[in-house]
């Protein structure tokens, strides 16, 4: 088991290298000058040269990338081009908001999607199933930022129960923190919940058709026992895969939802950095996003192994 995890962790490295290299060289194509970014366009050529030398951007692109990589391996993402601030600090400030939002959205996804999917899969073909499936189709078609806008305009503002904008850190006040992320989490999680419900329904309905369910029925187990021990236990395997995909989508979706609720997360950081072509910040966000996605993937793989003896490492 330990070697499995270790092997998977090692496999993440080339993945992150390729992802960051792709981003790095892509942004190189847009020929941006960090010196102009830092000093504006009114400085002297000499001042520009100094900044370029300081940031190391006067070197060939390949050398820059290798240099960045060797620092990144030690979690040093350098300094922002725009402001003389370490990138790590900027990422650090934005992490709580993004993590809270993503976590909240994952909870919404699971707590709403899973029960609905199970209920509809078990009674596939019934009226209840049709209603749930139709609702899920609608939920899946709702753009998260629109849901957010509606929640802000029709829930937060009229009732005043939740703030329509802003984010409060959990260290400041747990209650305010919770109130500040509930609506963004719902907005972000709804389409994930809908997708999960549909996939869960398909998985449950599929497992119900398996010969081993017939065997379990023939032995005389109760409906409850069969649903738990045979149906859900096996349906969990494809559901875990779907969850992995959803988490990646949520991380991306949080970027736009952050704009709606004015949440200072990684998304808005990435958004402004990309527009300003602040390469070190972009690379750091890409690395963090890729790492988050792969860590989630790894956790799910471990869970997968625990759920399915066929993929369990011997």
Partner 1 sequence: MKAGRGRRIVIGVAAFEVAAVIVAAIASPWVGKNTSPSTLSDSLAEPSWNHLLGADQQGRDVLVRIIQGARIALLAATEATLVAVLIGIPLGLLIGFRGGRVDLVAMRLIDSISSIPGVVLAIALIATLGTGLSRSMLAVGLVFSMVMARIARGQVLAERERQYVDGARVVGVRRRGLLFGHVLPNVAPALIVQATLVFSAAIAIEAGLSFIGLGVQPPTASWGIMLADAQDVKEISPFQSVPPGAAILLTVLAINVLGDFLQGLVVGNQRSGEGTVLDGVRVQRSPDAAPAPAGASLVVDTLDVAYRGRNGTMVRAVDGATLHIGRGEVLAIVGESGCGKSSLGLGIAGLLAPPATMRARSLRLVTDDGEHELADLDPRDTSWRRHVAVVFQEPAASLNPVHSVGHHLRRALRQRGVEPTQRAEHAERLLRQVHIADAPDVLRRYPHQLSGGMAQRVMIALALAQSPAVLVADEPTTALDVTVQAEILSLLRQLCTDLHLSVMLITHDLGVVAELADRVAVMYAGQVVETGSVLDVIATPLHPYTAALAASVPRNEAGIGIPEPLEGNVPEPGHWPAGCRFAPRCVHAVEACLAESPVLAGTGGRAFACIRAAEINLVGVPPRRS
Encoded one letter per residue, x for contact with partner 1 by CB under 8 A and - for no contact, window 258-297 reads -xx---------xx--xx-x----x--xx--xx--xx--x
Contact between 138 and partner 1 (CB under 8 A)? Answer: yes
Block residue for tokens 């809908």: 194
Backbone Cα Rg of the chain: 24
Smallest distance from partner 1 to CB 217, Å: 5
Smallest distance from partner 1 to CB 222, Å: 6
- Residue ranges in 141-170 that form contacts with partner 1 under rule CB under 8 A: 141-143, 145-146, 149-150, 152-154, 157-158, 164
* Phi–psi pair at 277, nearest 5 degrees: 60, 40
Coil, strand or helix: which one is 31? Answer: coil
Q: Which is nearer to partner 1, 43 or 298 (CB)?
A: 298
Smallest distance from partner 1 to CB 227, Å: 8
Structure tokens at 71: 């620092």
Structure tokens at 260: 């709606």
Say how far apart CA 263 and CA 101 lie, in whole Å.
Answer: 9
Smallest distance from partner 1 to CB 183, Å: 13
Helix (H) or strand (E) holding 241: helix 233-261
Question: Count of residues binding partner 1 (CB under 8 A)?
Answer: 83
Structure tokens at 312: 């369990």
Smallest distance from partner 1 to CB 40, Å: 20
Which residues, at least 6 apart from 175, have a Cβ–Cβ distance to it below 8 Å?
none
- Residue ranges in 187-226 that form contacts with partner 1 under rule CB under 8 A: 205, 208-223, 226
Smallest distance from partner 1 to CB 288, Å: 10
Q: Which is nearer to partner 1, 53 or 73 (CB)?
A: 73
Q: Which is nearer to partner 1, 47 or 137 (CB)?
A: 137
Encoded one letter per residue, x for contact with partner 1 by CB under 8 A and - for no contact, window 39-78 reads ----------------------------------------
CB 274 within 8 A of CB 282: yes
CB 132 within 8 A of CB 197: yes
Structure tokens at 299: 């956790």
The 10 Å Cβ neighbour count of residue 289 is 19
Say how far apart CA 244 and CA 111 lie, in whole Å.
Answer: 16
- Residue ranges in 85-104 that form contacts with partner 1 under rule CB under 8 A: none
DSSP letter, residue 264: -
Q: Which is nearer to partner 1, 26 or 172 (CB)?
A: 26
- Residue ranges in 238-257 that form contacts with partner 1 under rule CB under 8 A: 248-249, 251-253, 255-256
Nearest-5° Cα angle at 212, 211 to 214? 65
Smallest distance from partner 1 to CB 14, Å: 7
- Residue ranges in 13-42 that form contacts with partner 1 under rule CB under 8 A: 14-16, 18-19, 22-23, 26-27, 29-30
Smallest distance from partner 1 to CB 39, Å: 20
Which residues, at least 6 apart from 86, have a Cβ–Cβ distance to it below 8 Å?
77, 78, 79, 80
Q: Which is nearer to partner 1, 95 or 249 (CB)?
A: 249
């Amino acid at each position: 088991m330990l070697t499995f995890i270790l092997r998977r962790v090692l496999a993440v490295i080339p993945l992150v290298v390729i992802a960051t290299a792709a981003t790095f060289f892509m942004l190189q194509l847009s020929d941006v000058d960090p010196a102009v970014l830092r000093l504006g366009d009114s400085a002297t050529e000499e001042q520009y040269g100094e900044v370029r030398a300081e940031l190391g951007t006067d070197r060939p692109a390949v050398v820059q990338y290798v240099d960045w990589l060797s620092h990144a391996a030690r979690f040093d993402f350098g300094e922002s081009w725009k402001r003389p601030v370490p990138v790590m600090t900027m990422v650090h400030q934005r992490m709580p908001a993004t993590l809270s939002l993503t976590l909240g959205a994952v909870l919404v996804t699971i707590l709403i999607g899973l029960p609905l999917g199970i209920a509809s899969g078990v009674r596939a073909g019934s009226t209840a199933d049709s209603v749930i499936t139709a609702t899920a189709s609608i939920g899946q078609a709702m753009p998260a930022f629109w849901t957010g806008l509606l929640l802000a305009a029709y829930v937060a503002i009229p009732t005043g129960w939740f703030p329509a904008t802003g984010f409060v850190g959990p260290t400041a006040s747990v209650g305010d923190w919770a109130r500040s992320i509930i609506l963004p989490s719902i907005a972000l999680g709804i389409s994930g919940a809908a997708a999960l419900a549909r996939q869960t329904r398909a998985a449950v309905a599929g497992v119900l058709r398996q010969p081993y369910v017939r065997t379990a029925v023939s032995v005389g187990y109760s409906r409850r026992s069969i649903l738990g021990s045979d149906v859900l236990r096996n349906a969990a395997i494809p559901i875990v895969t779907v969850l992995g995909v959803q988490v990646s989508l949520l991380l991306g979706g949080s970027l736009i939802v952050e704009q709606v609720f004015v949440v200072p997360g990684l998304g808005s950081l990435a958004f402004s950095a990309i527009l300003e072509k602040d390469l070190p910040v972009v690379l750091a966000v890409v690395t963090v996003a890729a790492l988050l996605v792969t860590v989630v993937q790894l956790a799910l793989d471990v869970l997968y192994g625990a759920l399915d003896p066929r993929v369990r490492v011997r």
